[in-house]
């Protein structure tokens, strides 16, 4: 009889509450403050709330970014829990009605699409995730009757697994309605805070051009307690200290793959990264493209200053100590970033590369903390296809300290006495020959003031690690005639290799493929023992060898637990209850509570 471990009670457990508290404490620090004229933080009071994410707040991405939860705290609920009075209920109700109609039309289209393609609605939803519509009409009367000088506007987008994004309005670009509404609100409200409830980059050039926008917060997609987390940040209960992990361009065309990405060149199957090693901020640096917001950027409700860095070299280890002082009026945290500019040599090099970073603790106004950033000299190496090795070329390596990729200053120069190979490997794959990599223009050499400390590093202190390639392995063999069980391996009677040697080709293949419940290979519909999980190893050896299945997490969705499921009296899982976005597989009416265990 199958054993499925799950609660039979709908009550929230203490473990869930504890985990939620930890998530809430951490998530606020992940919010990135892009702009602020002093409006934030806000004191709880009356606020007008607008935008397509005010109530329909997106908690996660599509596919493996969508987490099954008991419920979700939207932004309106989070604000009200924090003591705000939302005065725009009439507009929010109209937006609700528009959203419900849009969702109804979408589900009808999904049903028709699945029927035409001969697939399940589950699969159709995965390949065609729901896109949030443009917000409902917002009038001068709506704004004039709000009864407050403060407005919050939430821009939401869905994105993730299953479909690529488009350079069009309502996706990478603002809806025309969003642009017009922001302009209207900027005229009516003294304080206008824009919240980006998005899972990827957007074009913010139109937003930046609107006069009267007081603050811009990149909320991201903060899970099922996103509304509470945002309220913590808006009120200053948490001082945001998140930094951008992407470069936000001024125009879509500034990205190196803009012309050929996905639908833009008609090929949605293959992508060729012609930027070569110049990925992300390296591209913007190497090709002299000015970003709107650089990699590593993020503001705070306070201010910080970085003192003179002290650099120390001990063999392969390099340590840079940076004093960070809170020069503002409230407590906060800062992230110090360390980049390296390698010498010009035979190999391609970006202008700079991030080698490590560190975050301070919570610093009170006037307090200072020494942040120690450590890395190995071999982390500065570049790959040489000709040598089939990672190589440190002779010359000076400039260490740069700052708070974003476009805000760094030289802290030290590490001078290597001669070229050294750090890793000797083997080129296992030939040059595809079909990709013509972009070549950056010749940039001026990196110059460093003579007052910047110089330290010597020796190639002799960086030994070469030579990797030996095993090639084909000999088949496992065993002299044991009896059936080897997993307990025999645990007790040391036999090795794991000997157990494997007894398995048939069919059993080995089953282990490689894993479980596909009901013949389906759809993610989130695979596990027998953990309903909703992305998948698990096969149960083929459970009875014969005592090898239980291993449950796999589904990326950011974790175990993707199914909120409700049913089994029969013998513990066999019954169909129904699986979730994919807005689609919930119904339970067969014949499986009533009288003949099943819920």
CATH number for the domain spanning 95: value is: 3.40.50.1700
pLDDT value, residue 597: 60
**Helices 14-30, 226-234: crossing angle, 10 deg rounding:** 50
Q: How far apart are CA 99 and CA 586, in angstroms?
A: 23
Query: Are 178 and 65 in the same domain?
Result: yes
Residues whose CB is less than 8 angstroms from the CB of residue 463 and which lie 6 or more positions away in sequence, other chains included: none
pLDDT value, residue 591: 67
From the number of C-beta atoms within 10 Å of its C-beta (0-12, 13-18, 19+), residue 231 rates as buried
What CATH number does residue 352 fall under?
2.60.40.10
Name the band, by pLDDT with cuts 50, 70 and 90, for residue 281.
very high
Tokens representing 462 are 């960086």
Tens of pLDDT, residue by residue over 140-170, are 999 999 999 999 999 999 988 888 999 999 9
Domain of 66 in residue numbering reads as: 21-238
The least confident of 83-87, 272-276, 286-290, 532-536 is 532-536
Query: Are 75 and 136 in the same domain?
Result: yes
| The last residue of a domain, from among 204, 238, 272 | 238
pLDDT value, residue 517: 54
Tens of pLDDT, residue by residue over 538-589, are 888 988 999 988 887 777 777 778 888 888 877 777 878 877 766 777 887 7
| Domain contains 56 | yes
Pairing of strands 191-197, 150-156: parallel
| Domain contains 78 | yes
Highest mean pLDDT among 55-64, 266-275, 291-300, 462-471: 291-300
Interval 308-318 mean pLDDT: 95
Highest mean pLDDT among 80-84, 451-455, 516-520, 592-596: 80-84
Query: Are 233 and 322 in the same domain?
Result: no
The least confident of 15-24, 83-92, 479-488, 530-539 is 530-539
Tens of pLDDT, residue by residue over 209-259, are 999 999 999 999 998 999 999 999 999 999 999 999 999 999 999 999 899
- The widest CA-to-CA distance across the chain, in whole angstroms, is 86
Coil, strand, or helix at residue 407?
strand
Query: Are 399 and 521 in the same domain?
Result: no
Interval 286-304 mean pLDDT: 96
| Domain contains 70 | yes
Q: How far apart are CA 152 and CA 213, in angstroms?
A: 10
- Does the pLDDT at position 384 exceed 90? yes
**Ramachandran assignment for 388, one of left (phi > 0), alpha (psi -120 to 50 degrees), beta (any other):** left
Question: What HEC string does 213-225 produce?
Answer: CCEEEECCCCHHH
> DSSP letter string over 40-107?
PSPPSSEEEEESTTSSS---S-BGGGPPP-S----HHHHHHHTT-EE--HHHHHHHHHHHHHHHHHHH
Interval 325-334 mean pLDDT: 98
Tokens representing 507 are 């059993």
Query: Are 222 and 362 in the same domain?
Result: no
| Domain contains 400 | yes
Name the band, by pLDDT with cuts 50, 70 and 90, for residue 528.
low
User: For residue 315, how many other CB atoms are within 10 A of its CB?
Assistant: 12
Query: Are 344 and 461 in the same domain?
Result: yes
- Computed over every residue of the chain, the mean pLDDT equals 90
| The last residue of a domain, from among 407, 437, 466 | 466
Query: Are 73 and 129 in the same domain?
Result: yes
Strand locations in 287-328 (E): 304-306, 310-314, 317-326
> How crowded is the C-beta side of 252, counted as CA atoms within 13 Å?
18
pLDDT value, residue 525: 55
Tokens representing 514 are 């894993």
Check if the beta carbon of residue 564 is closer than 8 Å to that of residue 586.
no
How far is Cα of residue 450 from the mean position of the Cα atoms in its chain? Answer: 41
Burial of 25-58, coded b for 16+ CB within 10 Å and e otherwise, reads: eebbbbbbbbbbeebbbbeeeebbbbbbbbbbbb
Which stretches within 128-171 are classed as H helix?
140-144
To which H or E segment does residue 195 belong?
A: strand 191-197
Query: Are 110 and 219 in the same domain?
Result: yes
Tens of pLDDT, residue by residue over 102-125, are 999 999 999 999 999 888 887 888
| The total number of structural domains that make up the chain | 3
Interval 427-435 mean pLDDT: 72
Interval 75-95 mean pLDDT: 98
Tens of pLDDT, residue by residue over 167-213, are 999 999 999 999 999 999 999 999 999 999 999 999 999 999 999 99
Query: Are 102 and 166 in the same domain?
Result: yes
The 407-416 sheet, strands edge to edge? 353-359, 335-341, 395-404, 407-416, 454-457
pLDDT value, residue 441: 81
| Domain contains 298 | no
| Domain contains 537 | yes
| Domain contains 282 | no
- Does the pLDDT at position 523 exceed 70? no
- Does the pLDDT at position 521 exceed 70? no
pLDDT value, residue 563: 83
Query: Are 199 and 69 in the same domain?
Result: yes
User: For residue 153, how many other CB atoms are within 10 A of its CB?
Assistant: 26
Query: Are 455 and 538 in the same domain?
Result: no
Residues whose CB is less than 8 angstroms from the CB of residue 105 and which lie 6 or more positions away in sequence, other chains included: none
Name the band, by pLDDT with cuts 50, 70 and 90, for residue 530.
confident
Check if the beta carbon of residue 193 is closer than 8 Å to that of residue 234.
yes
| The last residue of a domain, from among 466, 494, 518 | 466
CA Rg value for the chain? 28
Query: Are 548 and 417 in the same domain?
Result: no
Check if the beta carbon of residue 574 is closer than 8 Å to that of residue 596.
yes
| Domain contains 280 | no
């Amino acid at each position: 009889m199958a054993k499925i471990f799950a609660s039979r009670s709908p009550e929230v457990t203490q473990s869930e509450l504890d985990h939620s508290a930890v998530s809430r404490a951490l998530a606020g620090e992940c919010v990135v403050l892009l702009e602020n004229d002093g409006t934030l933080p806000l004191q709880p009071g009356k606020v007008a709330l607008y935008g397509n994410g005010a109530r329909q707040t997106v908690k996660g991405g599509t596919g493996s970014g969508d987490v099954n939860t008991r419920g979700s705290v939207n932004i309106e609920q989070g604000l009200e829990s924090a003591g705000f009075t939302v005065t725009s209920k009439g507009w929010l109700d109209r937006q609700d009605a528009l959203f419900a109609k849009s969702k109804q039309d979408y589900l009808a289209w999904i049903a028709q699409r699945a029927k035409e393609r001969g697939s399940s609605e589950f699969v159709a939803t995965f390949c065609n995730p729901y896109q949030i519509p443009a917000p409902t009409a917002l009038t001068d009367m709506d704004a004039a009757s709000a009864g407050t000088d403060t407005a919050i506007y939430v821009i939401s987008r869905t994105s993730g697994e299953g479909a690529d994004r488009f350079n069009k309005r309502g996706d990478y670009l603002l809806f025309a309605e969003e642009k017009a509404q922001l302009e209207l609100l900027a005229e009516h409200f003294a304080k206008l805070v824009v919240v980006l409830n998005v899972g990827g980059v957007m074009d913010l050039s139109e937003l930046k051009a609107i006069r009267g926008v007081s603050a811009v917060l990149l909320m991201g997609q903060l899970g099922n307690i996103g509304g509470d987390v945002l309220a913590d940040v808006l009120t200053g209960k948490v001082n945001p200290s998140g930094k951008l992990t992407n470069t936000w361009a001024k125009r879509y065309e500034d990205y190196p793959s803009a012309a050929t990405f996905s639908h833009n060149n008609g090929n949605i199957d293959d992508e060729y990264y012609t930027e070569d090693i110049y990925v992300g901020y390296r591209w913007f640096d190497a090709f002299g493209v000015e970003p709107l917001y650089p990699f590593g950027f993020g503001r705070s409700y306070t201010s910080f200053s970085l003192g003179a860095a002290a650099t120390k070299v001990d063999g392969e280890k390099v340590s840079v100590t940076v004093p960070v002082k809170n020069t503002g009026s409230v407590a906060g945290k800062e992230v110090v970033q360390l980049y390296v500019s390698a010498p010009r040599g035979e190999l391609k090099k970006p202008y700079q590369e991030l080698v490590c970073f560190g975050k301070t603790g919570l610093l009170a106004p006037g307090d200072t903390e020494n942040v120690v950033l450590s890395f190995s000299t071999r982390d500065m190496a570049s790959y040489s296809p000709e040598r089939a090795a990672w190589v440190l070329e002779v010359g000076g390596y400039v260490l740069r300290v700052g708070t974003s990729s476009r805000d760094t200053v030289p802290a030290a120069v590490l001078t290597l006495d001669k070229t050294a190979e750090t890793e000797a490997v083997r080129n296992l794959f030939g040059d595809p020959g079909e990709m013509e990599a972009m070549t950056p223009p010749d940039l001026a050499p990196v110059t460093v003031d003579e007052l910047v400390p110089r330290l010597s590093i020796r190639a002799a202190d960086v030994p070469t690690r030579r990797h030996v390639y095993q090639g084909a392995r000999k088949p496992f063999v065993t002299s044991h005639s009896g059936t080897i069980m997993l307990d025999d391996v645990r007790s040391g009677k036999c090795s794991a290799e000997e157990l494997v040697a007894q398995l048939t080709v069919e059993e080995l293949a089953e282990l490689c493929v894993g479980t596909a419940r009901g013949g389906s290979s759809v993610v989130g519909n695979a596990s027998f023992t953990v309903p909703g999980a992305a998948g698990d190893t096969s149960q083929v050896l459970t009875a014969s060898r005592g090898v239980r299945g291993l449950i796999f997490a589904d990326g950011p969705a974790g175990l993707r637990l199914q909120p409700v499921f049913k089994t029969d009296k013998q513990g066999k899982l019954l169909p129904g209850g699986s979730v994919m976005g807005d689609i919930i597989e119904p339970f067969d009416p014949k499986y009533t509570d009288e003949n099943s265990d819920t």
